[in-house]
């Protein structure tokens, strides 16, 4: 008889155990165990993987959460969230991102990646409110796709995304102007019908960037469909400008056979992005200098250690990881790919996973027949996702019960229209 292990998926509990001294696991900061309200009014993304990144000056700040929510314990918040959801019934849909903490995800009507969740909201056109337990760009995408009378709510306005914030619209407009000086008019096709450059943005970008892409003949991609989207773009342009995540762009283009030397970098803080004009002219994919601080933590050393300590381990990493990490892994794929790969394993298997720790711990709890661990031994969740504490979820739901909509995220019409065009192009792009 096999005894299945019971695994606690809660990163919060792991952090509390570290602080209490009952766990020897390392963490990037014990500040993670306090409420995010201690950091909401300060500049910075707060404790966790992105805390070293530079937050844009205009990033939203969250107002103070009432003390009744800050001081409530886990069980009380759990009961209040449950009761408010029961009262609201079909009037509200709660969406939980894969990287969200367990104490929030357990209340979600849907759990998925950002695009899966935006689509899930479409199944509830009569819901008055869509409470998106993710980060800012995800709530914007849900607003783009939802009905005009539906309110999309982000429980904590300080939940941005450091990667999305690395490409702001002024920087991208400036880049476009500089590229036109090097490559000529960007909207004029050559004799083969190809324009000089097609802009491609990862879903993890602001609505303003998606709108820019829509206005300039470009397209959105996810980590699941990036290769299909790049094929779409290469059928229409000589090159691609890919933002904000250099790693997803590089890993995807490399797998399609584009040599690394034909992927010049665009650093928005340097003239011509820090590349020479001839490198840009010869470039096939111009990579924006953005990255995810969660996935940048994974290293080849961690993979080698996992292989030494767990012979036969299957290493799967997310394509937001650096190229050398993707090369050293057995497989690379989106969160959806990782989940499906584990679910499809019929024999007990050891998996070392290179993605956000909340998802890895949840997968370990869901599949106790396998040994599943995070490649990064340090307990260090996505800072920005971690801003959605259950206290904020309880607050926005109880406010909805009282007839008040807090923290509504709205995309202006002049941005929304071209952003929807870019999303529609992605939906219409099919693998060959």
Sequence-distant (6+) residues with CB within 8 A of 268 are 167, 171, 172, 174, 175, 288, 289
The residue among 124 and 387 lying less far from ligand SF4, judged by its C-beta, is 387
Contact (CB, 8 A) for 4 and 361: no
d(CA 255, CA 340): 21
User: Beta strands 237-243 and 195-202: pairing type?
Assistant: parallel
Structure tokens at 21: 């001294």
The residue among 354 and 391 lying less far from ligand SF4, judged by its C-beta, is 354
Contact (CB, 8 A) for 226 and 187: no
Q: How far is the CB of 62 from ligand SF4 (least distance, A)?
A: 16
Q: At what angle do helices 136-145 and 413-428 cross, to 10 degrees?
A: 80
Number of H helices, E strands in the chain: 17, 13
d(CA 320, CA 350): 22
d(CA 385, CA 335): 15
User: Beta strands 285-288 and 265-266: pairing type?
Assistant: parallel
Residue numbers at the binding site for ligand SF4 (CB under 6 A)? 50, 99, 135, 161-163, 204, 292-294, 356, 382, 384-385
Q: How far is the CB of 385 from ligand SF4 (least distance, A)?
A: 5
Q: How far is the CB of 139 from ligand SF4 (least distance, A)?
A: 12
Q: Which strands sit side by side in the sheet containing 265-266, from one edge to the other?
A: 219-221, 195-202, 237-243, 285-288, 265-266
Q: How far is the CB of 61 from ligand SF4 (least distance, A)?
A: 18
d(CA 53, CA 162): 7
Q: Quick check: helix, strand or coil at residue 413?
A: helix
The residue among 323 and 345 lying less far from ligand SF4, judged by its C-beta, is 323
d(CA 13, CA 33): 9
d(CA 141, CA 155): 15
The residue among 55 and 121 lying less far from ligand SF4, judged by its C-beta, is 55
The residue among 223 and 407 lying less far from ligand SF4, judged by its C-beta, is 223
The residue among 136 and 216 lying less far from ligand SF4, judged by its C-beta, is 136
What phi, psi does 297 have (nearest 5°)? -75, -20
d(CA 122, CA 420): 14
Q: How far is the CB of 69 from ligand SF4 (least distance, A)?
A: 23
The residue among 280 and 382 lying less far from ligand SF4, judged by its C-beta, is 382
Q: How far is the CB of 137 from ligand SF4 (least distance, A)?
A: 8
Q: How far is the CB of 144 from ligand SF4 (least distance, A)?
A: 18
Nearest to 286 by CA among 317, 250, 319: 250
The residue among 171 and 275 lying less far from ligand SF4, judged by its C-beta, is 171
Q: How far is the CB of 216 from ligand SF4 (least distance, A)?
A: 23
Q: How far is the CB of 243 from ligand SF4 (least distance, A)?
A: 13
């Amino acid at each position: 008889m096999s005894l299945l292990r019971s695994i606690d998926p809660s990163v919060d509990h792991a952090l509390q155990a570290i602080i209490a001294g009952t766990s020897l696991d390392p963490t990037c900061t014990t500040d993670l165990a306090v409420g995010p309200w201690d950091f909401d009014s300060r500049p910075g993304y707060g404790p966790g993987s992105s805390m070293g990144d530079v937050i844009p000056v205009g990033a939203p700040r969250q107002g103070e959460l009432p003390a009744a929510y800050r001081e409530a314990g886990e069980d009380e918040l759990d009961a209040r969230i449950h009761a408010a959801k029961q009262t609201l019934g079909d009037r509200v849909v709660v969406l939980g991102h894969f990287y969200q903490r367990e104490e929030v995800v357990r209340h979600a009507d849907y759990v998925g990646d950002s695009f899966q969740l935006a689509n899930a909201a479409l199944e509830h056109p009569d819901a008055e409110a869509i409470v998106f337990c993710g980060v800012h760009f995800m709530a914007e995408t849900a607003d783009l796709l939802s009905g005009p009378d539906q309110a999309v709510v982000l429980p904590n306005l300080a939940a941005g995304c450091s990667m999305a914030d690395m490409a702001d619209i002024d920087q991208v407009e400036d880049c476009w102007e500089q590229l036109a000086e090097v490559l000529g008019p960007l909207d004029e096709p050559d004799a083969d019908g190809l324009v000089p450059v097609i802009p491609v943005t990862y879903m993890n970008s602001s609505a303003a960037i998606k709108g820019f892409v829509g206005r300039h003949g470009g397209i959105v991609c996810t980590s699941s469909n990036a290769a299909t989207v790049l094929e779409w773009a290469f059928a229409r342009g000589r090159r691609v400008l890919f933002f904000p995540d250099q790693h997803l762009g590089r890993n995807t283009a490399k797998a399609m056979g584009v040599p690394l030397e034909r992927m010049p970098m665009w650093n928005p803080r340097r003239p011509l992005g820090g590349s020479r004009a001839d490198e840009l002219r010869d470039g096939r994919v111009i990579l924006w200098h953005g990255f995810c601080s969660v996935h940048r933590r994974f290293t080849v050393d961690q993979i080698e250690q996992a292989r030494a300590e767990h012979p036969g381990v299957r290493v799967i990493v997310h394509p937001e990881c650096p190229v050398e990490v993707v090369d050293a892994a057995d497989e690379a794929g989106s969160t959806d790919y990782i989940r499906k790969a584990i679910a499809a394993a019929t024999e007990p298997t050891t998996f070392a996973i290179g993605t956000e720790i909340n998802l890895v711990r949840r997968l370990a709890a869901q599949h106790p027949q396998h040994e599943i661990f995070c490649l990064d031994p340090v307990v260090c969740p996505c800072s920005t996702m971690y801003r959605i504490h259950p206290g904020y979820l309880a607050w926005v739901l109880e406010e909805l019960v009282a007839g008040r909509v807090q923290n509504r995220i709205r995309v202006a019409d002049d941005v929304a229209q071209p952003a929807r065009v870019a999303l529609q192009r992605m939906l219409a792009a099919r693998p060959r």
